[in-house]
Amino acid sequence: MTIDALPASQALYNRNFSPKSPLLNSHITRALKKKLEAYKASRASLLESSKTGSLDLSKYFFHLYPSTINNKDETSLSSLHFAVMSGHLKVAQFLIKSGADVNSVNNKGISPLYIAAIKRNDQVVELLLRCGANTNLANNKGNTPLHLATLMGHQKVIELLIKYKANINAVNNEGFTPLQLAKEKKSLSLDHFLLVALFGAKQPLKNAELSKKNPTSRKETQNPINLKYFFIKYNLLLVSLIALSALSATIVFSNYFYRSK
């Protein structure tokens, strides 16, 4: 490539040109345009086809450009990211079989498994786990897929992640485990007893450090689960009192009945 051709190649690559540009009138520029467009097409084609859910299209572009299997866009999302994001199970299966990196992360540290956990797509989650996805791969905030699945109350996804050895005690950058994070954000949509069963043991509801500083904080006493226990105890007490009152009334009536004889 000559010095004169460099501005043309840069303009073409960035699409900063008009049809009337003098640069487009040279045979050098026309040749560059063809090469650059072909190059850009080869890089983007598999990425774009992964979004569509078309297995045939993905196969076509992979066989045309096999070296692009792990190419990424400007945010470092791969074809597998897009297939998972769109919920295209068959495309994801094909990409993994063709060599897609199941632990590829974007510029925020988000892996395909992380996306599948958010999307509540247990079929894709299981596929990724069976193909070697790292259950404990955290994003830039230190959150693992289990943090997000617990935060959003995805029971099946939680079960799968724990089955594949997700660390239930992994802490994020704020020092919270998955269960603690869900409690802190007040976003638990699963029954507390079910969560305890899933995680195998009752975990502290707050960050250990915060608990030491303020073990009986106002925030903790207003926790929905504490209120749930309160109402359960209250209802049990109420039922007991009603039963006791009924028993007392029966005894009094019996005594009165026998005396009247």
In this predicted model, what pLDDT tens digit does every residue of 48-81 receive, in sequence order?
A: 888 888 899 899 889 988 999 999 988 999 999 9
User: Average pLDDT, stretch 213-231?
Assistant: 44
Q: Give the number of other Cβ atoms within 10 Å of residue 124's Cβ.
A: 24
CA–CA gap between residue 140 and residue 158 (Å, rounded): 21
- Which tokens in the block code for residue 237? 């007490």
Confidence of residue 140 (pLDDT cuts 50, 70, 90): very high
- Number of folded domains in the chain? 1
Enter the pTM of the model.
0.62
CA–CA gap between residue 57 and residue 45 (Å, rounded): 9
Q: Give the number of other Cβ atoms within 10 Å of residue 155's Cβ.
A: 17
CA–CA gap between residue 118 and residue 90 (Å, rounded): 19
Residue 14 lies in a domain: no
Residue 42 lies in a domain: no
CA–CA gap between residue 108 and residue 76 (Å, rounded): 9
Residue 236 lies in a domain: yes
Distances from the Cα of 45 to the Cα of 42, 51, 52, 73, 221, angstroms: 6, 10, 11, 11, 55
Residue 78 β-bridge partners: 72
For residue range 14-31, what is the model confidence (pLDDT) as tens digits?
A: 444 444 455 545 555 665
- Does pLDDT of 139 surpass 60? yes
Only one residue has tokens 């026998």, namely 258
CA–CA gap between residue 137 and residue 143 (Å, rounded): 8
Residue 65 lies in a domain: no
Nearest 10 degrees: CA dihedral of 150, 141, 114, 198? -20
Residue 254 lies in a domain: yes
Specify burial of residue 259 (Cβ count, 10 A radius: 0-12, 13-18, 19+).
exposed
Confidence of residue 192 (pLDDT cuts 50, 70, 90): low
Look at residues 151, 139, 164, 230 and name the one whose alpha carbon lies nearest to residue 195.
151
Residue 158 lies in a domain: no
Confidence of residue 153 (pLDDT cuts 50, 70, 90): confident
Residue 231: its pLDDT value, please? 53
Residue 52: its pLDDT value, please? 86
Residue 118: its pLDDT value, please? 92
Q: Give the number of other Cβ atoms within 10 Å of residue 111's Cβ.
A: 27
Residue 259 makes CB contacts below 8 A (sequence gap 6+) with none
Residue 43: its pLDDT value, please? 54
Residue 187 makes CB contacts below 8 A (sequence gap 6+) with 151, 152, 153
Domain extent for 243: 218-261
CA–CA gap between residue 222 and residue 199 (Å, rounded): 23
